Amino acid sequence: MEKIIVVGGGPAGLMAAVKAAENGSEVLLLEKMNRVGKKMLITGKGRCNITNTAQIPELIKNITGNGAFLNSTIRAFDNEDVIAFFNGLGLSTKIERGGRIFPESDKAADVVGSMLRALHRLGVKIEVNQVIDHILVKNSTVCGVKTKTGKIYEGDAVILATGGASYPGTGSTGDGYAMAKNLGHSVVPIKPSLVPLETKESWIKSVQGLSLKNVKVTALADGEKIGEDFGEMLFTHFGVSGPIILSLSRVVTEQLQQGKKVELSINLKPALTPEVLDKRIQRDFEKFIRKQIKNSLHELLPAKLIDVMIGLASLEPDKEIHQVTKEERLRLVNAIEHLTLTVTKTRPIAEAIVTAGGIEVKEINPKTMESKLVKHLYFAGEVIDIDGYTGGFNLQAAFSTGAAAGQYAAWSD
Ligand SMILES: Cc1cc2nc3c(=O)[nH]c(=O)nc-3n(C[C@H](O)[C@H](O)[C@H](O)COP(=O)(O)OP(=O)(O)OC[C@H]3O[C@@H](n4cnc5c(N)ncnc54)[C@H](O)[C@@H]3O)c2cc1C
């Protein structure tokens, strides 16, 4: 293919541009914002978790939204290829907890910078501040794109990599959905994935900012268990966030949409059985026998949670420990193991880490990423109906689909 236009300069578009240029095409990358890779710069808290060391089946399993569709693109450009790609650009990487891969420098800007240098070396032209709003098609074959201001760019193939609709301040405002729809593509309704959750309980405000490590959260819909995760979570002014909440948010969103009552049951001491926890509390109580309850739980619970737990266990905060009954103590054990929150709704899609939904995968060739409806139109990244868990899986999906789209667009005639 002679001239390829890439729409969108996120990880998927940047990778597509590199691969198309490496395979001999003239490439023009058009980006809406004043610079490329804005979202990438904030990934992994500014450190960019580029992929994960998991084996391929595990990688695919962690892409909960249509992972199977990515089987062939991930196999063709897997996590080892991503690491080798960046190392080849002079970017050293390191492995962290859970197999997460980061740049050694801990700077997302270095990841974007390495890709930009590669594009420069390959002669890819980048134009920023270009908002594309139409893909031009003649005889069911792509022939260019048109900007919002009416400027036309001609090309033999177009790779649409406009991302999802989360964090719109980074440029990802869901523009690609309308463009694909205009060409007859179906778009699976979008919804937030990896999103914080709002909760009903008013005590939440008193613990905002508190982060809990090594807790177990069980999500329940109408009393039935729908998911469980272990790790770190955070209380906010509206409810809960943090890694395990984000991971559970996908199933929670589905159940909320079905009108079910969703609750989160937090076990603050998941390593202890109720009996062992009770013994532990008894030991603390012996130590603080002359103190009031409110002054005897600081070795067991974070300070911010003490009043809340006393309230939830219906205990009197001023009661002295030697007056606490066994029944009262067991109420405390129960409250610590089942700290329950009622989810009212998710935060808006703008605050989601990833957008679920997007261009229907059945209408895309899973090997080449080419549209099955329009010749020489390719898709890459989050604009497609794919979404994964945290841990580097979303960027892997963006890189794998970007690599396939770039390469096959360059190879096609
Ligand atoms: C806070 C946060 C942290 C994250 N951390 C991680 C992480 O550490 N690891 C991980 O794997 N994933 C992470 N993700 C998810 C990951 O960033 C995305 O899945 C990924 O960026 C998607 O890549 P993309 O190229 O498809 O889309 P995007 O990165 O959204 O890029 C799309 C690009 O297209 C441009 N564009 C949009 N519309 C138009 C238009 N009409 N014309 C021209 N250009 C347009 C946009 O400006 C943007 O530059 C994180 C996401 C967020 C929000």
Q: In angstroms, what is the span from residue 314 Cα to ligand 1's centroid?
A: 47
Contact between 122 and 22 under an 8 Å Cβ cutoff? The reply is yes
Average pLDDT, the chain: 96
pLDDT of 301 above 80: yes
Predicted pLDDT at 171: 98
Report the nearest-CA residue for atom 50 of ligand 1. Answer: 43
Residue 314, by phi and psi: left (phi above 0), alpha (psi -120 to 50) or beta? Answer: left
Q: For ligand 1, what atom is nearest to the CA of residue 179?
A: 41
Q: In angstroms, what is the span from residue 11 Cα to ligand 1's centroid?
A: 7
| pLDDT, tens digit, 9 for 90 and up, residues 11-49 | 999 999 999 999 999 999 999 999 999 999 999 999 999
Report the nearest-CA residue for atom 30 of ligand 1. Answer: 163
Rg (the chain; Cα; Å): 25
Report the nearest-CA residue for atom 37 of ligand 1. Answer: 162
| pLDDT, tens digit, 9 for 90 and up, residues 50-59 | 999 999 999 9
CA distance 183 to 135: 8
Contact between 44 and 102 under an 8 Å Cβ cutoff? The reply is yes
Contact between 315 and 324 under an 8 Å Cβ cutoff? The reply is yes
Report the nearest-CA residue for atom 29 of ligand 1. Answer: 10
318's tokens: 């001023």
Average pLDDT over residues 81-89: 98
Q: In angstroms, what is the span from residue 388 Cα to ligand 1's centroid?
A: 13
Q: In angstroms, what is the span from residue 33 Cα to ligand 1's centroid?
A: 12
Give start-end residues of each CATH 1.10.8.50 domain in the chain: 196-346
Predicted pLDDT at 282: 94
Predicted pLDDT at 366: 98
The label of the residue with tokens 């819909």 reads 221
pLDDT of 138 above 90: yes
CA distance 103 to 83: 10
Give start-end residues of each CATH 3.50.50.60 domain in the chain: 3-190+355-411
Q: For ligand 1, what atom is nearest to the CA of residue 163?
A: 27
Predicted pLDDT at 34: 98
Strands 157-160 and 3-7: parallel
Q: In angstroms, what is the span from residue 163 Cα to ligand 1's centroid?
A: 5
The ligand 1 site (C-beta within 6 Å) comprises 7-13, 30-33, 36, 38-40, 42-44, 48-49, 130-132, 161-163, 166-167, 171-172, 175, 353-354, 381-382, 392-395, 398
Q: In angstroms, what is the span from residue 359 Cα to ligand 1's centroid?
A: 15
Average pLDDT over residues 315-339: 95
Q: Which residues pair with 103 in a beta bridge?
A: 93
Predicted pLDDT at 275: 96
116 falls in which pLDDT band (50, 70, 90)? very high
Mutation choice for ligand 1 from 172, 193, 384, 386, CB with most ligand atoms inside 8 A: 172
Phi and psi at 26, nearest 5°, equal -85, 125
Give 196-346's CATH code, choosing from 1.10.8.50, 3.40.640.10, 3.40.50.300, 2.60.34.10. Answer: 1.10.8.50
Class of domain 3-190+355-411: alpha beta
| pLDDT, tens digit, 9 for 90 and up, residues 171-225 | 999 999 999 999 999 999 999 999 999 999 999 999 999 999 999 999 999 999 9
Contact between 366 and 405 under an 8 Å Cβ cutoff? The reply is no
Distances in whole angstroms, Cα of residue 358 to Cα of each of 51, 139, 219: 22, 25, 26
Mutation choice for ligand 1 from 7, 29, 39, 250, CB with most ligand atoms inside 8 A: 39
- The count of other CB atoms within 10 Å of the CB of residue 234 is 19
Q: In angstroms, what is the span from residue 83 Cα to ligand 1's centroid?
A: 19
Predicted pLDDT at 221: 98
Average pLDDT over residues 61-71: 97
Q: For ligand 1, what atom is nearest to the CA of residue 171?
A: 47
Q: In angstroms, what is the span from residue 37 Cα to ligand 1's centroid?
A: 7
Q: In angstroms, what is the span from residue 376 Cα to ligand 1's centroid?
A: 23
Query: How many alpha carbons fall within 13 Å on the CB side of residue 341?
Result: 27
Q: What percent of the chain has pLDDT over 90?
A: 98
Q: What percent of the chain has pLDDT over 70?
A: 100
The label of the residue with tokens 């079910």 reads 260
pLDDT of 97 above 80: yes
Q: In angstroms, what is the span from residue 383 Cα to ligand 1's centroid?
A: 9
pLDDT of 1 above 90: no
How big is the CA angle at 229 (ends 228 and 235), to the nearest 5 degrees? 110
Q: For ligand 1, what atom is nearest to the CA of residue 45?
A: 3
Q: For ligand 1, what atom is nearest to the CA of residue 147?
A: 42
Average pLDDT over residues 302-316: 96
Contact between 136 and 142 under an 8 Å Cβ cutoff? The reply is yes
Predicted pLDDT at 413: 81
pLDDT of 384 above 80: yes
Q: In angstroms, what is the span from residue 89 Cα to ligand 1's centroid?
A: 21
